[in-house]
Structure 1
């Protein structure tokens, strides 16, 4: 292979005719010889196994300098379940084509990040954008992974004023202010708030007998906690045992711990009722 082309590919992962016009004939010859791939106009890559990065890098190069990976594509770098064969990119003039969905807008520069040969929307921006469709699921993951905080999320929301789906975005961002680390917790927080149950914090650091904990929900003035148990939360004997030891630690410290499952979230009246009764029975916080 051409030494210069090989060096550029090794460093950048892609090579474009726009950046290296003198190499165009060599790039096209190597493509005909099936030594390179030409996935998008003017963009060439080494032939390799497909992966998220091997597709998103050419899309970034094709849409440069104004294109920014957004939505599912931006979030897929920290939520692998969102990765797929279609790339999503924001650009003011390009048109969608096979394998690439273009949304006609510019991502404000303060929400653009560059990493691993990609230009992509920040986690806060991508999660807020997706909130119009996923009811805040990506927001919860961004908070849990410490990729975004409430001020960054609120700032990102301001970039979507007048955009379709913004009522749903605002609702999700309002719920994110209470720091849910999962979609189940977000639903639990909504039940509490809509039932008028206040005086609690979520996922705040707590040290009990030298052990650092982050309870799902903890009441400020009562020794009462709410914990959500998902079906996958006890996936191994070790996890099951650790969960029981955590529960015992809290009970020994005087906390009342309510355990709620996914099905309970479909019964908000039950959740509100049992929380109110437990609040009255729990001892005051010392």
Structure 2
């Protein structure tokens, strides 16, 4: 029975009967089922009780983990987890009624171990998600080095089907410098509202100071920071962050800080604040120019 579990573990927690029978006996499979160390999730498909839900659902349907579920598999940044696993079946294959619950798509897609490739995952998310969520996935894939921007551009140019122009826009705007999902979501708001001039991870440096802004407008010296709830992480970090804010102000930077709630649910407020900042005269620069 332990041997059956080990085989499933090596396969990501689930496998078909044929894969199991290649290395274990049918008797061992039946014994593991009786003992409850494995479970049958669909006809001819078995899984460990703790198997990853998305991969298990995909194999129960005879498909591949895709879209946001694939993004999670590749450890890409996502703004919100899907309520059900996303699975892509080959064109013409019927959904299995006995399979596990999931959101099903149909397409012939490249896969790695029953998960869509990172490039295909980015393209699928760009096709189906709002700009803020799609850009978050694309930025993260580039930042982690799982995809190359030129290859992603080429793949989007060859893509057919609905929302092709939208996919190409997301891919074109994706930036490997982005370092957090909230930063990407904030940048998506600016893009959709036609607010130009801001770029990710802008450095501010001189002989006595060094910092990076989540988003910075170099010409206007306006910085935007996207702060999650856990941003400060304690009193020491809070004090350090206050001093950073003062140092940026002394160097002529106006920094606007937005919370998760602002970025996710207060779009109008964010846009109003950024546009208001752009209308202000630049702060007086008291110290040497920043990088």
Distance apart, 1:160 and its partner CA: 3.9
Unaligned runs of 5+ in 2: none
Determine which of 234, 237, 240 is the counterpart of 2:238: 240
- Assess, with a 3 A threshold, how the Cα gap between structure 1 residues 10 and 70 changes in structure 2: closer, same or farther: closer
- Assess, with a 3 A threshold, how the Cα gap between structure 1 residues 5 and 216 changes in structure 2: closer, same or farther: closer
Determine which of 69, 75, 85 is the counterpart of 1:73: 69
1:125 aligns with 2:128: no
The aligned counterpart of 2:216 is 218
- Assess, with a 3 A threshold, how the Cα gap between structure 1 residues 38 and 15 changes in structure 2: closer, same or farther: same
Between the two proteins, the alignment pairs up a number of residues equal to: 264
* 1:119-268 matches, cutoff 5 A: 119-131=114-126, 132-140=128-136, 142-144=138-140, 146-147=143-144, 148=147, 150-158=149-157, 160-163=159-162, 165-176=163-174, 181-191=183-193, 194-195=194-195, 197-198=196-197, 200-209=198-207, 213-221=211-219, 224-230=221-227, 232=229, 233-234=231-232, 236-252=234-250, 254-261=251-258, 262=262, 265-267=267-269, 268=271
Check the 8 A contact 1:228/1:259 in 2, yes or no: yes
- Assess, with a 3 A threshold, how the Cα gap between structure 1 residues 238 and 175 changes in structure 2: closer, same or farther: farther
Distance apart, 1:104 and its partner CA: 1.8
**RMSD over aligned Cα, in angstroms?**
3.7
Q: TM-score, normalised by structure 2?
A: 0.70
The aligned counterpart of 2:16 is 16
Determine which of 43, 46, 52 is the counterpart of 1:44: 46
Distance apart, 1:157 and its partner CA: 2.9
Q: TM-score, normalised by structure 1?
A: 0.71
Check the 8 A contact 2:131/2:188 in 1, yes or no: no
Greater relative contact order (CA < 8 Å, ≥ 6 in sequence): 2
